[in-house]
Chain A
């Protein structure tokens, strides 16, 4: 046994309202720069739909992730090492910018500067890549709320193999939102595809990163990731990806996308896993067994033997106790209501999803039933073949039973709570019929419905004694985020881990020099207390 710790996420899809706040805040923090206009480390897709980039889930087309060779050994789907080195001048599997969507902006300047008397000056869309006029025809969020679904949604790769043609008429449509970030996989094919070795998985918390100084722009990671969550910055010529907001995670704070999630549906916590079992699990012959295989890799932090081994492999004590309280462990392993996205890619992804019951219960309500009658809900779950098979194609490589069990459990949680609140009784056998105890259903209700901040995020800080070393990694010769075009772009300089708390800056509030030559007070990050020097121009200057 070789325990390792992984920072992991669970998203409760029932609660996602598709507001894209996560996308926007992530964009503002990480990819609001030239070269990354088209990049969304977090994006929210409407399902069914093609996704972003187009049809990324079809690995017969894009060759992302792993596959098994004739002898059952794990192999990159895009081909071996030699093939990569020979095709390095042209990567045959790279999506084009049109698959992501040519990023556009508007010629606002023309509108603002239109001479007096111009009738209704209007803004044209222009390409952010070239500055030329363009007609937009695709983008990360083109299919929001099933827009265009009647023409396009049947090309969704997850609908392949469903026998009945899915009806996209308004009354019969089912839909839900799927927020996606990098999965920070246990067996990351992006890392394996990078010929330079610039990508790596952090030993301490499993976060997968790109070393910007070592990346040489060979762009195989972009095509190697089956989730297409590595992006090519066309200005810097380097690959970039979701960082799991590691500077915040190290400080014990949730990621930006989680912190700002309006539905409060994201959970962050540690998973302990046995690194020795990873490759074996990823090479499981039947794809439909991959979910169970990945479950077998996880370690129970309450097991004293696991705790002993974990400590021996250098996992700090407070991390092990954080793993015990981890909401991710609860949802994934104890309650078994969270499922991995596309386990068949064999990367062992670590952002898991609680499948949505809503498409089902909407129909239940439409039929005049209510949640208090689980038998009717169960019957409806079973009769809704298409949503079930669709969800199974997303989360269990097509195994319907697993998804059905999860949905039944979620329905049972609702039934018990509703009965409790209305003073009704439920059948005693109900919890057992979904494989749970009454206490477990109650815990699940607390975790899913009450969902307190401290229950959603259990994030142990990076160790203070490591802080100096951490800073060395972040800063190197200078802060690597501060380079031209980098996200830091010459901010207040490196901040130590122990000082990193929003709004609290050591040494008082913070000012900067703007292009007008004047010193300004930086309102960003001001906690409202203390003085605010230079907030207003001094008398006599203008």
Chain B
């Protein structure tokens, strides 16, 4: 790989992806909240979704959690709380494989119904196909990475992770990224592409997890007032309990 290309893959692409990711979300939020939804297909097909959707999502959350631990948290911190290389590797291999298994079963079910159930297939828009195929590639590569690395024990925490955190400090270490096995590199690049298109796809639904449902009053009242009210959790309090005045 020439130095220019390396520079592109490991510095320029990540920065473009991050910029598009952030600006894209702001743009989408301001101009297309009407399109901001999970595009559920449960109405059309539920027998397969019942297994596919929870397996995929819970598996994905486990995988995302693993990435946060492995990439965002520096190795020294983990060791500082007494988890050594061996223990970490054992944990990450076992948890990673479990997560990978959940995701792989879930994704297979979801992909099968999207491809072969005509009602679901009919709802899929072109941008959905792009997102779903890219997501599929990324998941596939991620699972391959986990499976290959489980016996290998390549320590990404001293290479990829350092490079990744370097991106945010403004000095990304290209050499470190290039030291990792090719499968890691392709997986990382696929991830940047996914972030690049994320704001323009249904994946934005992930940011709308309605956690504040846990504490808001059940029945929401709204008075006619100027302008759209802020989404709760992001702005002023718009909820009011029955029986409580203003």
**Interface of A toward B, CB cutoff 8 Å:** 2, 76, 81-82, 84-85, 87-92, 94-97, 127, 129-132, 187-188, 191-192, 194-197, 199-204, 212-219, 232, 234-238, 275-276, 278-279, 462, 466, 468-470, 472-473, 476, 480, 483
Docked complex Cα distance between A78 and B13 (Å): 46
Segment from B42-50, B81-89, B145-153, B175-183 that makes contact with A: B42-50
Within B39-72, the residues touching A (CB, 8 Å) are 39-46, 49-50, 53-54, 56-58
Docked complex Cα distance between A480 and B209 (Å): 24
Please determine whether B205 and A216 come into contact, CB atoms closer than 8 angstroms: yes
List the A side residues contacting B1 at CB < 8 Å.
none
Please determine whether A278 and B40 come into contact, CB atoms closer than 8 angstroms: no
Interface size class of B (residues with CB under 8 A): 35 or more
Segment from B97-105, B163-171, B215-223 that makes contact with A: B215-223
A197-B216, A213-B36, A236-B35 given. 10 additional CB < 8 A pairs? Answer: A82-B214, A96-B43, A130-B119, A194-B220, A199-B220, A212-B34, A216-B36, A462-B224, A473-B226, A476-B228
Question: Residue of B at shortest CB range from A129?
Answer: B119
User: Nearest-CB distance from B217 to chain A (Å)?
Assistant: 9
Please determine whether B123 and A200 come into contact, CB atoms closer than 8 angstroms: no
Query: Which 5 pairs show the lowest CB-CB distances between chains A and B?
Result: A217-B37, A192-B218, A195-B210, A237-B37, A237-B39
List the A side residues contacting B121 at CB < 8 Å.
130
Please determine whether B118 and A132 come into contact, CB atoms closer than 8 angstroms: yes
Please determine whether A196 and B34 come into contact, CB atoms closer than 8 angstroms: no
Please determine whether A234 and B43 come into contact, CB atoms closer than 8 angstroms: yes
Within B1-49, the residues touching A (CB, 8 Å) are 33-46, 49
List the A side residues contacting B236 at CB < 8 Å.
none
List the A side residues contacting B205 at CB < 8 Å.
216-217
Q: List 24 A-B contacts (CB under 8 A).
A: A76-B218, A82-B214, A85-B211, A85-B213, A85-B214, A90-B42, A130-B122, A132-B118, A194-B220, A197-B212, A200-B222, A201-B221, A203-B223, A215-B37, A216-B37, A219-B40, A236-B34, A236-B35, A236-B37, A237-B38, A238-B34, A462-B224, A473-B224, A473-B225
Question: Residue of A at shortest CB range from B204?
Answer: A216
User: Nearest-CB distance from B121 to chain A (Å)?
Assistant: 8
Would you give the 0/1 interface string for B105-134, flagging 1 where the beta carbon is closer than 8 Å to chain A?
Answer: 000000000000011011100000000000
Please determine whether B44 and A216 come into contact, CB atoms closer than 8 angstroms: no
Given known contacts A2-B243, A197-B210, A216-B208, is B222 in contact with A129 (CB within 8 Å)?
A: no
Question: Residue of A at shortest CB range from B56?
Answer: A89
Judge whether B76 is part of the interface by a CB distance below 8 angstroms: no
Q: Which of A90, A191, A215 contacts B50 (CB 8 A)?
A: A90
List the B side residues contacting A473 at CB < 8 Å.
224-226, 228
Docked complex Cα distance between A237 and B124 (Å): 11
Docked complex Cα distance between A95 and B226 (Å): 37
Q: Which of B42, B54, B226 contacts A469 (CB 8 A)?
A: B226
Please determine whether B43 and A232 come into contact, CB atoms closer than 8 angstroms: yes
SS of B interface (majority): loop
Docked complex Cα distance between A213 and B226 (Å): 16
Judge whether B242 is part of the interface by a CB distance below 8 angstroms: yes
Please determine whether A191 and B220 come into contact, CB atoms closer than 8 angstroms: yes
Judge whether B239 is part of the interface by a CB distance below 8 angstroms: yes
Given known contacts A470-B224, A473-B224, is B39 in contact with A217 (CB within 8 Å)?
A: yes
Task: Output the residue of A76, A88, A89, A462 with the most chain B CB within 10 A.
Answer: A89
Question: Residue of B at shortest CB range from A66?
Answer: B218
Would you give the 0/1 interface string for B185-198, flagging 1 where the beta carbon is closer than 8 Å to chain A?
Answer: 00000000000000
Please determine whether A204 and B34 come into contact, CB atoms closer than 8 angstroms: no
Task: Output the residue of B53, B202, B209, B220 with the most chain A CB within 10 A.
Answer: B220
Docked complex Cα distance between A470 and B212 (Å): 28
User: Nearest-CB distance from A132 to chain B (Å)?
Assistant: 6
Docked complex Cα distance between A397 and B49 (Å): 36
Q: Which of A81, A87, A235 contacts B123 (CB 8 A)?
A: A235
Docked complex Cα distance between A25 and B46 (Å): 32
Please determine whether B222 and A238 come into contact, CB atoms closer than 8 angstroms: no
Given known contacts A213-B34, A238-B37, A276-B243, is B224 in contact with A466 (CB within 8 Å)?
A: yes
Docked complex Cα distance between A537 and B218 (Å): 57
User: Nearest-CB distance from B208 to chain A (Å)?
Assistant: 5
Please determine whether B242 and A275 come into contact, CB atoms closer than 8 angstroms: yes
List the B side residues contacting A212 at CB < 8 Å.
34
Given known contacts A2-B243, A89-B53, is B38 in contact with A217 (CB within 8 Å)?
A: yes
